[in-house]
Amino acid sequence: MPSLKHAAPTTVEGACSLLEEHGDRAAILSGGQSLLPKLRQRASSYDVLVDINGIEGQDYIERDGDQLRVGCLARHADVATSEIVEQAIPALADAVGLIGDIQVRNRGTLCGAIATAHPSGDPPTMVSLLDADIVATGIDGRRIIDGPSFYEGDRTTALNDTEIVSEVRFQIPGEGSGAAYEKWTPAEGSYPIAAVGALVELDDETVTDARLVTGALEGRPTEMPDASAALVGEEATDEALSAAATALGDHADPSEDFEGSVEFKRELATTMAKDALDGATERARE
Amino acid sequence: MSSETAPPEPQSEVSISLTLNGRDVTRTVEAGTLLSAFLRDGEFLTGVHRGCESTRCGACTVLLDGEPIKSCNVLAVQVDDQEVTTVEGLADEDGSLHPVQESFWDTHGLQCGYCTPGMVLNSVALLEENDDPSVTEVQERLSGNICRCTGYTKIIESVRNAADAIDDD
């Protein structure tokens, strides 16, 4: 490991002032599951690690009206096994419960993964799907960034250099709505090649609203309005859901790389979309 | 900014106190020391196996406050004030093995043994949470621990047998 300095502030504000003081030479260390591999491989270099693990009272998971609030030190394992999450947004518990493996989930934090903005990360797709609010705390105080505009590109977010994601607030799907998340990974525990989140609102059997978001395909979570719009007003039949899934695959714009061709990824996206739509529709009926 | 909220000065060396395999230890470590390096090179706990050094193989798994983590992906400073258990800490003082170790031995749950400390520690934590895991639950739980000798059949059988052995006690 390269030589580093370590500072453990006891408040979020203290962490932000360290970021201000040390600029791009400083990085936030929470779970460290993405940061430490990068440091070890010399893919990133920092002089100062701002270790936020000692900040008290930041590992909360709570329901506030129609929002689910998760603090910056809640770990994936806490979110995945939380009864509050399971009740409010089971799709989020599913998605987070399939991140990496148990060892990674025991350390990694949800807000850390949201800020890391890995193009194939599961939490960013859920942020976009569930229209989450990102609470960013910086030296000038807090501001709220809405989920769909938080991701500006591959590993690029709307956070500025002195801000950290101090909380995420997910919108809980209302009565008659359901969400689901499906992904395809080339190996156990690895990042997905294609992922799809689906949100469906039903009135009786008619789709009154739908949202589809892809992950892993285009460098950041990508809403697929053309595919979801065709569902609205339709009956939630197997044919209609299949047609929307096919439309999603057709509209997806993945790039070819060592993991697969464009055609292969579109095919995967269609399959994941159908599974996610089936799951979301099932939950909407409950 | 008041002195109360002034953040601490970053340090190159940090003092940590932890409970390591039941013993209280206080050490000074370089800030960038990985937990796996601290345990092996500093504490000579060579049962912490470095496999891939890239968070994929799980050979370096240890328990942090009873939960499995990969020690190649955590800094030593991050375990301050916590409890770390390595495979060396599982047996009783008289040398009698933990039931999970016993079961891996009896069931032939290892060949070369390189992945075994990680497999055993993850399984110990699993059985603390779930005393009768199904084959699927064991498979899911051990998905972050890779064995390259052979298949996983005997490993999974070892965990199931350990669950039965603990249940019989």
pLDDT digits (tens, 9 = 90+) for A108-122: 999 999 999 999 999
Q: Are B134 and B70 found together in one domain?
A: no
CATH number for B83: 3.10.20.30
Query: Strand A5-7's sheet: what is its strand order?
Result: A5-7, A48-51, A26-29
Mean pLDDT estimate for chain B: 94
Number of domains in chain B: 2
B4 belongs to a structural domain? no
B5 belongs to a structural domain? no
Shortest CA distance from A190: residue in chain B: B56
Q: Domain range spanning residue B142?
A: 99-168
B94 belongs to a structural domain? no
Q: Report the gap between the CA of A27 and the closest CA in chain B (Å).
A: 12
* ipTM metric: 0.95
Residue where a domain stops, chosen among B42, B67, B88: B88
Chain A residues whose CB is inside 8 A of the B69 CB are 103, 106-107
Gap between the Cα atoms of A91 and A72, Å rounded: 20
Gap between the Cα atoms of B126 and A208, Å rounded: 43
Q: Where in chain A is the domain with CATH 3.30.390.50?
A: 177-285
CB contact under 8 A, A53 and B73: no
A177-285 maps to which CATH number?
A: 3.30.390.50
The answer to whether A59 and A74 are in contact (CB under 8 A) is yes
Q: Is pLDDT above 90 for B157?
A: yes
Mean pLDDT estimate for chain A: 96
Long-range contacts of residues B146-149, Cβ cutoff 8 Å, at least 24 apart: B146/B51, B146/B52, B146/B56, B146/B57, B146/B58, B146/B59, B146/B115, B147/B115, B147/B119, B148/B114, B148/B115, B149/B110, B149/B111, B149/B112, B149/B115
Q: Which residues are CB-contacts of B95 (< 8 A; sequence separation ≥ 6)? A: none
By DSSP bridging, strand A194-203 and strand A177-184 are: antiparallel
Q: Domain A5-51: state its class.
A: alpha beta
- Torsion-angle region of B58 (φ positive above 0: left; ψ -120 to 50: alpha; else: beta): left
Q: Which residues pair with A153 in a beta bridge?
A: A156
- Average pLDDT for A127-134: 96
The answer to whether A116 and A80 are in contact (CB under 8 A) is no
Q: Report the gap between the CA of A235 and the closest CA in chain B (Å).
A: 36
B7 belongs to a structural domain? no
By DSSP bridging, strand A67-71 and strand A164-171 are: antiparallel
Rounded to 5°, the CA angle A186-B114-B96 comes to: 130
B8 belongs to a structural domain? no
CATH number for B103: 1.10.150.120
Most B CBs within 10 A among A3, A19, A102, A104, hence the mutation to make, goes to A102
B44 belongs to a structural domain? yes
Residue where a domain stops, chosen among B59, B88, B117: B88
Q: Is pLDDT above 60 for B4?
A: no
Q: What is the pTM of this model?
A: 0.95
Which fold does the domain A61-171 belong to in CATH?
3.30.465
